[in-house]
Amino acid sequence: MNICWFNDNRLGVASNDVIHDVTEALQALPPPAYPGAAGDHLVRHLDRLLPAIANVLPNATPYSIAEVQLASPVANPGKIIGVPVNYLAHVEEAAADVATFTDRYTGGIREQGLFLKAASSLIGCRTPVTIRMPDRLTHHELELAVIIGKTASNVLAADAFSYIAGYAIGLDMTIRGPEDRSFRKSLDTYSVLGPWLVTADKIPDPQRLEMRLLVNGELRQSTNTSKMIMPIAEQIAWASSFYTLYPGDIIMTGTCEGVGPVNPGDTLYAEIEQIGAMTVQVA
Ligand code: MN
């Protein structure tokens, strides 16, 4: 099932260019309580929500996807975890252009560690990425985004998939330069998630997905998730050995070669097999 937030906090299910308004299904969720459990309330209770959606779907009002505003499919992630240097060809392109890629690209993921992007940087695909530092390079990084579904601490890689709620297309927008990654990747609008959350049951093998990104119609990035250096299960196991993962936490699983600059007026088009496609404007 493809789950999204659209227009004014409406819950939707997307299929075949149509979004069905299933907001009524939210009544199946327990009322949020303060301070409540950590994480995203809807993702935490996805098990309760999905049967309720199935009940209301036959009578749900349809909207054309083209006419709705799509927000981030995860409303309140606790954290966005980034995995650096996870595709060899991207590491090599960075090594070949040290003037642009002043980030640390030497050493593997386990030497570099993970990084965190501020949750406040998150937008959906119908909100423009807004350049905040026009005198600096902003790059696009296309990534498969994994959304955690259950609280996870010190989990084994062999069990990791049972902690995944679903998947989405992620854009890890990045200012190039010498500052800490968390600074350069956490600007408002610099994390895009969309177009919807595809529940994990629909993607049995997320390590075999074609993905690509175009800027103004020109192909920039193209790869397959099979090329990840550290696979998703290992990312979850490793991340959960440092950070407790909560429902709604997002892991951006790394980008491939072909990253490059974006400027106001550009149009990004990103697609990942079995998830869908999204168009994102740059302002
Ligand atoms: Mn990245």
For the cut 90, the answer to whether the pLDDT of residue 170 exceeds it is yes
Q: Can you give the pTM of this predicted structure? A: 0.97
CA of 228 to the centre of ligand 1 (A): 12
CA of 255 to the centre of ligand 1 (A): 5
pLDDT in tens, 193-239: 999 999 999 999 999 999 999 999 999 999 999 999 999 999 999 99
Note the pLDDT of residue 33: 87
For the cut 90, the answer to whether the pLDDT of residue 250 exceeds it is yes
Other residues' Cβ atoms within 10 Å of the Cβ of residue 16: 6
CA of 145 to the centre of ligand 1 (A): 10
CA of 82 to the centre of ligand 1 (A): 6
CB 167 within 8 A of CB 194: no
pLDDT in tens, 44-102: 999 999 999 999 999 999 999 999 999 999 999 999 999 999 999 999 998 899 888 87
- Percent of the chain whose predicted confidence (pLDDT) is above 70: 99
Strands (E), 44-132: 61-64, 80-82, 115-117, 122-123
Note the pLDDT of residue 104: 66
Element (H, E) at 170: strand 164-172
CB 119 within 8 A of CB 79: yes
